[in-house]
Structures are given as C-alpha cells and as structure tokens.
Amino acid sequence: MTSPRTRNRLINRLAEQGIVATDVLDVMREVPRHIFVDEALAQRAYEDTALPIGHNQTISQPYIVARMTEALMAGGALNKVLEVGTGSGYQTAVLAHLVKQVYSVERIQPLHVKARSRLRRLSLLNAHLKLSDGTMGWPGLAPFDGIMVTAAPGKVPVELLEQLSEDGGRLVIPVGDFHQELLLVVRHGQEFHQEVLELVRFVPMLSGVIR
C-alpha cells in the first residue's frame, strides 16, 4: 500500500488534474499519507479521496491539498505560514517541507494530540501546533506570509485578513455554506485582491475548543 508505484500513481493523477508545481508534487510523493489515517483505512491512503479521521472531520482529498498548497506557494518562497485546522496533520506535514515555519491551530484536542505525535514521528520540528479556536488565527505571531484554512466559514474572517503580511501575504480559504468556493486573497497594504480558484466542499468552520 506504500510502494513507490502506489504513490507515483497518485502523483501522476494529480499532475493530470492540473497540478504543475513540481516541488508540491515531490513533497506529496514523499510524505507518508498512510500514517495520518486510522490503520483500518491505511490501504486507501493513496487514493485521491477524502477519508474520515473521526470527530466529524476528514483528511482532505490529495488533489485539494495539492491545489491549496500550490496556490499558497505560487507567489514565491514563504517563511512563516499559519494553518487553521490541523486535523490529521497531513497538510501541516506537506507545508512543513515547503516553508520555513508552520504554525497550526486545531480546536479538537484528540486530533491535536494525534497530529502532534505524527509530526514528531516525522521529525518535522518546524511545525508548531496549538490547541485553539481557529477563527481567531494566531494573532500573537502575526503577520504571516501565508495563511491556509481547511474549514469553511460563511465569509472570510476579518481577523485572518488582519494577520496577513501587508507585502503580498496570501490567504487560501474555502468560503460558503452549501455553495463553497476556494478563494485566494492577496494583501498589498490595505488592499485585498480576491480570486475564486474552484468549487469545493469542506467541513464548516466552528468556534470553541473541544477537549
């Protein structure tokens, strides 16, 4: 299930679907997605599909991980990135291979604990996790060169816009209720340029912490 051929099949599929960033594809070939799902689902880890991780959450479809990562990185190298919604930790691991420092917040404690263990297992020491309400971001560490959100609010949270670097900070976020759009927002000073990337389906962004 973790053979190079199995992984390469997934990467080839992502390329066929339009992912062109070779660094993103190389990292996704390297990161062992099977350790981020329950053992019973490990044999499906390299399918291009979302999988349940408990607590009504999912590990995102690999195509969506690649698409969001590619969009975030398209402006050039990033030093400091905020991820809202650690979940399984898989997206965090992908980012940790591509940017200098990743700061990730998760509101569900059991997921936070599991993700921390998995990232330590991979020796990703540049991934910093926090149990927190993601709707507020991580204001004490702002500004961020990039912010990635893996749950969908009804509208873009002002708090996250304020935590973007004024010099080209990039936000990739799904927005909407039944009809969701994946947005790229780029900040220049006090101006925010918004682009719709594609239609998506994410779990809703909720407030509060679950222990």
DSSP code at position 49: S
Catalytic, out of 3, 60, 104, 123: 60
**Residues in the chain with pLDDT values less than 50:** none
Residue keyed to tokens 């749950």 = 151
pLDDT at site 156: 97
Please, what is the end-to-end C-alpha distance for the chain in angstroms? 33
Instruction: Report the distance separating Cα 166 and Cα 30, nearest Å.
Output: 33
Q: Do strands 57-59 and 51-54 pair parallel, antiparallel, or not at all (unpaired)?
A: antiparallel
pLDDT at site 4: 86
Instruction: Tell me if residue 60 is catalytic.
Output: yes
pLDDT at site 1: 56
pLDDT at site 178: 85
Instruction: Report the distance separating Cα 165 and Cα 80, nearest Å.
Output: 10
